[in-house]
């Protein structure tokens, strides 16, 4: 199994176009600080890849990885489809960017699919351009990432947080599947990876999967719970915005520290001190054996 990190920033990217916070200003002054929206490419087999979350940067992200380039035929692409962890705009707007495809398979949970079809009306908007094929992402069992693939995928519900455009709709038994973590398993070796770029909670099923995984890549949006309020971007705390912080008594660093697999953070907000490569918080994590994922990083669990 091979994972290609396509981006590691939270919504807005780094820098964010309308923000002059220290992180965004630093990224404008130091291009190596820049981060694209959080996304991951998973190699299903030798020449087929699935992209996890279709961000606004998806065109540039595909162009940044030679293995995702089309060829040798003019319109033959190794991008077999998309996997969505939620229905947020920063994880779905890129679907429209792929409208040139003859067809596009999208794996996601039922409430996310419903929101994209009934609220954003992606089926109607993209129908004249391409054919979207929706495949259910099961919560109770693993399925091959693509038929015949040696990589299996399953979803772990982690939150019932809806995107703003779908707020206020009727509830249902699958509300917890609005945001999921992905468990990827290579059948031949039993190697597993866990990808969870948005975490509002740390349920027992997620903890079991993290404990068993050879590689864990999780939500690092905010360093501490007060960061959004302290930086002035929100009146809510990190947990109030649906993201567990890294540091503090309720933080994820203490949950990741005892694990034996490789552990990395992704989905960094522009206010997170970790966007500065020289920030002392990097040393704090390194002492716990935890890394911060970088755009372009290749991971072989």
What are the pLDDT digits (tens) for 218-231?
999 999 999 999 99
Q: pLDDT value at position 168?
A: 79
Q: What is the pLDDT of residues 84-113, one digit of tens each?
A: 999 999 999 999 999 999 999 999 999 999
Q: What is the pLDDT of residues 203-251, one digit of tens each?
A: 999 999 999 999 999 999 999 999 999 999 999 999 999 999 999 998 9
Average pLDDT over residues 43-60: 95
Q: What is the pLDDT confidence band of residue 140, given thresholds at 50, 70 and 90?
A: confident
Q: pLDDT value at position 171?
A: 64
Q: pLDDT value at position 46?
A: 84
pTM above 0.95, yes or no: yes
Contacts of 5 (CB under 8 A, 6+ apart): 39, 40, 266, 293, 294, 295, 296, 297, 298, 299
Q: What are the structural domains, with CATH classification, of the chain?
A: 3-299 (3.60.15.10)
**R_g of the chain computed on alpha carbons:** 18
Average pLDDT over residues 182-204: 97
Q: Which two tokens stand for residue 249?
A: 């008594």
């Amino acid at each position: 199994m091979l994972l290609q990190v396509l981006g590691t920033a939270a919504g807005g990217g780094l820098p964010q176009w309308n923000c002059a916070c220290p992180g965004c200003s630093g990224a404008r002054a130091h291009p190596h600080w820049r981060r694209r929206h959080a996304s991951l490419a998973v190699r299903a087999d030798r020449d087929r890849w699935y992209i996890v979350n279709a961000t606004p940067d998806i065109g540039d992200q595909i162009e940044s990885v030679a293995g995702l380039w089309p060829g040798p035929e003019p319109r033959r692409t190794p991008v077999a489809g998309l996997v969505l962890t939620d229905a947020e705009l920063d994880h779905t707007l890129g679907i429209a960017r792929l409208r040139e495809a003859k067809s596009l398979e999208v794996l996601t949970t039922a409430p996310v699919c419903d929101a994209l079809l009934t609220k954003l009306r992606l089926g109607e908007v993209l129908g004249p351009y391409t054919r979207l094929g929706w495949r259910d992402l099961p919560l109770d069992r693993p399925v091959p990432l693509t038929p015949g693939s040696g990589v299996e995928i399953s979803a772990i519900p982690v939150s019932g947080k809806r995107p703003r455009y779908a707020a206020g709709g009727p509830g249902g038994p699958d509300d917890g599947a609005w945001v999921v973590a992905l468990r990827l398993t290579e059948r031949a070796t039993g190697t597993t990876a866990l990808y969870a770029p948005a975490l509002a909670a740390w349920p027992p099923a997620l903890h079991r999967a993290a404990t068993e995984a050879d590689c864990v890549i999780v939500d690092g949006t905010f360093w501490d719970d007060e960061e959004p309020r302290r930086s002035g971007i929100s009146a809510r705390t990190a947990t109030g915005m649906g993201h567990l912080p890294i540091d503090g008594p309720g933080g994820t660093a203490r949950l990741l520290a005892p694990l034996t697999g490789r552990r990395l953070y992704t989905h960094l907000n522009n206010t997170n001190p970790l966007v500065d490569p020289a920030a002392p918080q990097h040393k704090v994590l390194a002492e716990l054996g935890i890394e911060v994922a970088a755009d372009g990083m290749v991971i072989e669990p």
